[in-house]
Structure 1
Amino acid sequence: MVAVAILAAGRGTRMKSDLPKVLHSVGGKSMVERVLDGLAAIQPERIFVIVGFGQEKVRLALAHIPNLTFVHQAEQLGTGHAVQQVIPHLEGFEGDLLVLNGDVPLLRPETIYTLVQTHRDNGNAATLLTAQFADPTGYGRVFCTEQSIVTEIVEHRDCSPAQRQNPRINAGVYCFNWPKLMEVLPHLQSDNDQQEYYLTDVVKDLSPAMAVDVADCQEIFGINSRQQLAEAYAILQERIKAQWMAAGVTLIDPDSITIDTTVHIEPDVVIEPQTHLRGHTSIGTGSRIGPGSMIEDSQIGPNTTITFSVISDSTVAAGARVGPYAHLRGHAVVGENCRIGNFVELKKATLGQGTNVAHLSYLGDATLGEKVNVGAGTITANYDGYQKHPTVIGDRTKTGSNSVLVAPITVGSDVTIAAGSVVRKDVPDDCLVVSRAPQKIHEGWKPAHLRDDTNPPSESPTA
């Protein structure tokens, strides 16, 4: 049995933020959510999130994750003090306690699994995750035997010149045998410069204690500032893009592309430069996305083309073409083989198979059938100043340029709407709609300041 304690109580003063440090986002998820994701391989029995600064925000942000126990650390008096807060919650527990930091979001599940499994296989009282740095300056050093048994942990400032040559550092990630930890944890002392209770102080009293080196030192990267947040994001992006390229996705210019870890991409997709994929987005095989596109929380079908466009909370079906400079939002649904052209905005609109909206149009709260052709400049006037109203257009209907459909309105199938029409009433199937004022020509007309009032302009109406 494994319980987990995630230390997430600190403010993170160097972040210069009212948001708790662990809630800052890295690649589409908060730091602490990424730490929780790393537990997938060990299936812990209990998970404790130790909260302090901004605890209500942390609780709210993690409310969607089941089976979490929040433990309040009223004063932040060190890592040892933080772990002491779970003592009342683990009375009678006979398993192992894994201790993680909420601001170390790059740990892979495989690394956590290896740490816990090594701890179990060797019957350790404590197992530490360590790393060997080319430049370990500033880090506490971990000294081990050839069998990786920990003999001593020394803070950098307390190391002798010879000890500072040791490249092995403490990553701050631990697995403890809980009954053995309980023999020493309640007796921690704070007799140090910071007057804090350090978890490292219990290791010297636990035997055996073993070190496990992490293969990739970037995994233990901790975040304390905005600069480090950006560095962690860059590391994560390298991982994500390498993963997708290995899976058969072409990234034309990886350095200019960003992809959240929550995105799914099928093989034979081409991602053009300056494209950004966010949230729970999926891209179907054979699609070409970009350049210059942003897609968020949307599902893109196979063999689609999206160019210089923004799509959010929407669905685009197979074979559709979107852009350039289109904007789909608010749960827009584009059917198979549709064409959404330049400077078109769709908001909460559903388009049937083969429908074309080629340019300069706005369709809001609209439902269009199959093979509808929307002329340039067509808009649905869906808002009356108080609420939104729906527009329904039947199959194979054509709207002329600069048509306005004043909602609520239903237009039937096989209808042709003449250019410049303002349609205010429902239209039946199979008809032509012309709704515009007669053209008037005022011969000899001039502006008032140039006009001779003795020769008023004549009026010549033209149908």
Structure 2
Amino acid sequence: MLAVAILAAGKGTRMKSKLPKVLHPLGSKSLVERAIESCKIVKPHRTLVIIGYEGDKIENALNHLENVEFVQQTEQLGTGHAIMQLLPHLKDFTGDLLVLNGDVPLLRPETVEELVNTHQKNKNATTLLTANLKNPQGYGRVFCDGNNLVTQIVEDRDCNSAQKQNHRINAGVYCFNWQCLKEALPQLTTNNDQQEYYLTEVVDFLNPVMALDVHDHSEISGINDRCQLAVAYDVLQARVKEGWMKAGVTMIDPDSITIDETVQLGIDVTIEPQTHIRGNTIIGANCKIGPGCLIENSIIEDNTTVLYSVISDSKISANTRIGPYAHLRGGVELGENCRVGNFVEIKKSSIGNKTNIAHLSYIGDATLGNQVNIGAGTITANYDGVKKHPTIIGDRTKTGSNSVFVAPVTIGEDVTVGAGSVITHDVPNDSLAIARGKQKNIEGWKKP
């Protein structure tokens, strides 16, 4: 059996924020959520998050996750003290305890799996993740024999000048035999510079303790301020974009592009500069996205082009062209072979196949059929000041430029609406609708 403990009780004063440090977002997820997700690969039986500062906010933020327990650390007296809080919660537990930090969000699941496997294969009392850094300042040093068995761990501020020459550092990620650990925890002392209970001191009471070097130093980077948060985002983005480019996606100027790891991309997608794709977005094969696009929580099917546009919470069917400067939001469903052009906004509407909305229009709370042509400047006036109302436009209908549909209103199939019309009543199939004032010319008129 395996339990996981996530250390998340600290305030994080260097973040200069009212938000607990572990709740700061890194891409689409918080730091602590990333720590939790990194260990799903090892299928823990229990996941315990140790909270302290603003603990209720952390609980609320994680309440959508299943099988997460919360343990209070009312005083923050060190990492050893945090793990001591688990004693009553794991009093009947037998197995291993994996300890992660809630502010170390870049740990790869494969690394966690390797740590647990190494621990269990060698039947260690403790296995800890380590790294050899060129500049180890600020990190506790790990001293090992030739078999990677740990002989001593010394915190940076407690190191003497000779010990500081050791470049192997403690990453703060551990796998313990819980039975051994719970016997060692009561023996911890505060005989150190910070007068705290260091979890690392348990190596003095456990045997064997083995070190496992991480392959990529960026995985163990902790977040203490917003500068480090930005660096971590760069690392995360580099991983995501490298993975997609190797999978058959072309990125023009990857440094200007951001893609959440929750995004799915088809083969032969091209992403142009200054494009940002977020949330649960799926983009089909042979699409061209950008430059200058923001796409969130949307589905874009094959062979679609999106240029300088914003799309959120919408579904775009195949072989469609969008932009430049279009905005689709709030549950738009766009059919195949459509054209949505310059300065068009569509909100919460269903649009049929081969329908064109090419210029300067607003379509809201509307249902448009197949092969509809919306003239430039067409507006659905869907809001009466209190409620939103629907507009329905049937197949093959054409609206003239600067038409206004005052909802609720239904326009039938094969209707032509004259330019400049304000339509306030339903229009039957196969009709010409004109609703505008009669033009009057006064010849020979001059300004008084």
TM-score greater than 0.5 by the shorter chain = yes
Q: Which residue of structure 1 lines up, in the alignment, with residue 182 of structure 2?
A: 182
- What's the CA shift string for 1:231-279, capped at 9, x where partnerless? 0000111101100000000001101101111111111100001100011
Q: Which amino acid aligns with 1:277?
A: I
Question: Which segments of 5 or more consecutive residues in structure 2 lack a partner in the other structure?
Answer: none
The one-letter code of the counterpart of 1:392 is: I
Aligned residue in 2 for 1:460? none
Percent of residue pairs identical: 64
**1:184 deviation in Å?**
1.3
Contact kept? 2:136, 2:169, Cα under 8 Å: yes
Q: Secondary structure at the match of 1:427?
A: coil
Q: Secondary structure at the match of 1:441?
A: coil
Q: Distance in 1 between matches of 2:9 and 2:332?
A: 41
| Conserved 8 A contact 2:157-2:193 | no
Q: Is 2:231 aligned against 1:231?
A: yes
**Which amino acid counterpart does residue 314 of structure 1 have in structure 2?**
S
CA distance in 2, matches of 1:88, 1:312: 47
SS at match of 2:303: coil
> What is the deviation of 1:192?
2.5
Quick one: distance in 1 between partners of 2:123 and 2:342?
65
- Pairwise CA distance, 1:444: 4.7
Counterpart for residue 54 of structure 2: 54
Could you tell me how far apart the structure 1 residues matched to 2:144 and 2:176 are?
A: 18
SS at match of 2:440: strand
CA shift digits 1:349-388 (9 cap, x unpaired): 1101110000100000001010100000000000000110
Note if 1:402 corresponds to 2:402: yes
Indicate the residue corresponding to 2:214 in structure 1.
214
The one-letter amino acid of 2:261's match is T
Question: Distance in 2 between the 1:370 and 1:204 partners?
Answer: 75
More moved, 289-298 vs 75-84: 75-84
**1:79 alignment partner in structure 2:** 79
2:104, 2:220 within 8 Å by CA — same for their partners in 1? yes
- Distance in 2 (alpha carbons) for counterparts of 1:77 and 1:251: 48
Offset of residue 193 of structure 1: 2.7
Q: 1:21-420 to 2 correspondence within 5 Å?
A: 21-420=21-420
AA aligned to 1:441 is N
Q: Helix, strand or coil for the counterpart of 1:87?
A: coil
TM-score computed with the length of structure 2 as normaliser: 0.98
Residue 19 (structure 1) aligns with: 19
> What SS is found at the alignment partner of 1:340?
strand
Measured at CA, do residues 276 and 12 of structure 1 come closer, stay the same or move farther in structure 2, by a change above 3 Å?
Answer: same
Q: What is the CA-CA distance between 1:42 and the residue it aligns to?
A: 0.3
1:18-68: CA deviation from partner (whole Å, max 9, x where unpaired): 111111111211111111111121000000011111212211111111010
Query: Structure 1 CA distance, aligned partners of 2:427 and 2:42?
Result: 62
SS at match of 2:441: strand
- Partner amino acid, structure 2, of 1:373: N
Q: Distance in 1 between matches of 2:312 and 2:231?
A: 27
The one-letter amino acid of 2:215's match is A
| Contact preservation (8 Å) 2:158, 2:193 | no
Report the Cα distance in structure 2 between the residues aligned to 1:79 and 1:253, rounded to whole angstroms.
Answer: 43
Report the AA paired with residue 42 of structure 1: V
Aligned twin of 1:456: none
Q: Name the aligned partner's letter for residue 340 of structure 1.
A: V
Deviation per CA, 1:68-126: give whole Å up to 9, x if none. Answer: 00111111111111111111111121100000000000000000001011110111111
CA offsets 1:174-213 (integer angstroms, 9 cap, x no match): 1110010011113322233322211111121111111000
- Which SS does the other structure have where 1:211 is aligned? strand
Q: CA deviation at 1:445?
A: 4.3
2:39 partner SS: helix
Quote how far apart the aligned CAs of 1:162 are. 3.0
The CA distance in 1 between the partners of 2:189 and 2:154, in whole Å, is 16
Q: What do the CA deviations read for 1:292-330 (whole angstroms, capped 9, x no partner)?
A: 111011111110000000011111111110000000011
Aligned-partner residue type, residue 357 of structure 1:
I
Contact 2:158-2:192 at 8 Å conserved across structures: no
Which amino acid in structure 2 is aligned with residue 387 of structure 1?
K
Query: What SS class does the counterpart of residue 439 from structure 1 fall into?
Result: coil
